[in-house]
Amino acid sequence: MSETPAFPAVPVPDLEARREAVARYAALAVPAGGLGVLADLGLWLASVQGACPPRPPARARVVVVAADHGIAAARVSAYPAEVTAKQVAATLEQSAPVAIVATVAGASVRVVDAGLDRESVLPGQERFRVRRGSGRIDREDALTEAEVEAGLRIGRALADEEVDSGADLLVPSSLGVGATTVASTLVAAVTGAEPVAVVGRGSGIGDDAWMRKAAAIRDALRRTRDDRRDPRALLRIVGGADLAVLTGFLLQAALRRTPVLLDGLVVGAAALLADELVPGAHQWWLAAQHSPEPAMTLVLQHLQLVPVLDLQVRHGDGTGAVAVLPLLQSAARLLGDTATAEASGILPIRAVTG
């Protein structure tokens, strides 16, 4: 494999801003620990924004990366491959779950065609297309080396575009029939898990499709045995256009000091690879919700992330993450606007009596 340039070191979130937030919480007119996880969210926001009190995220951006996967031909999904294009159309028409929830949370949604299996590219998106579809990973490589590098560059450029246009929080997500099979294979390769430990129900598959999916992951995983410590090689062998773009997007968001809400197994698999390429990138990410996909549990354990909620949302279009956004906005307002104990006169007995 040809040499590839190293990425810069990821910056560390602002520990001083976090300390200031801890002190501010201690001064509020609420019982110690009274705000629970909302306080934890405020601390995270303060550290990734480098400010106390933090600002409520006002320009959250969902970036939906769409691509098709050759492994869909193995009948590992409840849907045929052509459904990806229909899911994309529903998202653009604002009738898909993520688009609906985004209107409630005040987020905007962008759809990117990284690898849909059709000749025409979404209007104006030629520069984001890595390739048409991806190889069937149980039999052939998903991408070429050049396509992996192109996907990483595209993902980084997407993150730069969003940050430069004012996005203050990013929600990467994905659409693609067969994508959870690819993601599960990547998770097994990175974490060392057995194939059976990562096979989930994905699109809602029954037992027969579950067994086909397990066999596909097993066969694909065998093809990675000599390359499991090389994220770029894994993207080439068992990844896909969407995974390469999402990996670049996630690592660049961390390099640009921009907070990210993680949700969905495909994004989770990309996060594992991004954190391998840029160690410490996970410090800029917040796990939105617990997924019933077993591979996502492994992702969170590996990245040492604790999900905010237990919504059990399996759909990977970012719906679960966007549902958490109002909690982040509330956490910022609580830290910034709640009266202090001194100003309100609401003091604990120990403070009054000395």
Q: Measured between alpha carbons, how far is 237 from 126 in angstroms, rounded to an integer?
A: 24
Residue ranges making up the domain that contains 46: 15-54+334-353
Query: CB–CB of 296/265 below 8 Å?
Result: yes
Q: Measured between alpha carbons, how far is 7 from 231 in angstroms, rounded to an integer?
A: 13
Is 9 inside any structural domain?
no
Compute mean pLDDT per 10 residues along the chain, 354 residues long, and list them.
72 98 96 95 98 97 98 96 96 97 97 94 90 97 98 98 98 97 98 95 92 97 96 98 98 98 98 98 97 96 97 94 97 96 83 50
Nearest to 45 by CA among 318, 237, 331: 331
Is 3 inside any structural domain?
no
116, two tokens: 């849909």
Is 200 inside any structural domain?
yes
Nearest to 249 by CA among 48, 67, 99, 64: 64
Is 279 inside any structural domain?
yes
**Same domain assignment for residues 93 and 231:** yes
**Same domain assignment for residues 321 and 348:** no
**Same domain assignment for residues 290 and 341:** no
pLDDT value, residue 350: 66
**Same domain assignment for residues 265 and 290:** yes
pLDDT value, residue 265: 97
Going across the sheet that includes 169-175, the strands are: 108-115, 60-67, 169-175, 260-262, 285-287
**Same domain assignment for residues 279 and 344:** no
Q: What are phi and psi of 87, to 5 degrees?
A: -65, -40
The SS3 assignment for 285 reads strand
186, two tokens: 């990547």
Is 166 inside any structural domain?
yes
The SS3 assignment for 93 reads coil
Angle at 244 between CA 300 and CA 265, to 5 degrees: 30
**Same domain assignment for residues 167 and 20:** no
For tokens 């320009």, the residue is 59
Tally the domains of the chain.
Answer: 2
**Same domain assignment for residues 338 and 201:** no
**Same domain assignment for residues 163 and 73:** yes
**Same domain assignment for residues 169 and 96:** yes
CATH code of residue 183: 3.40.50.10210
**Same domain assignment for residues 142 and 46:** no
**Same domain assignment for residues 42 and 82:** no
**Same domain assignment for residues 38 and 154:** no
Query: CB–CB of 211/154 below 8 Å?
Result: no
pLDDT value, residue 203: 85
Is 4 inside any structural domain?
no
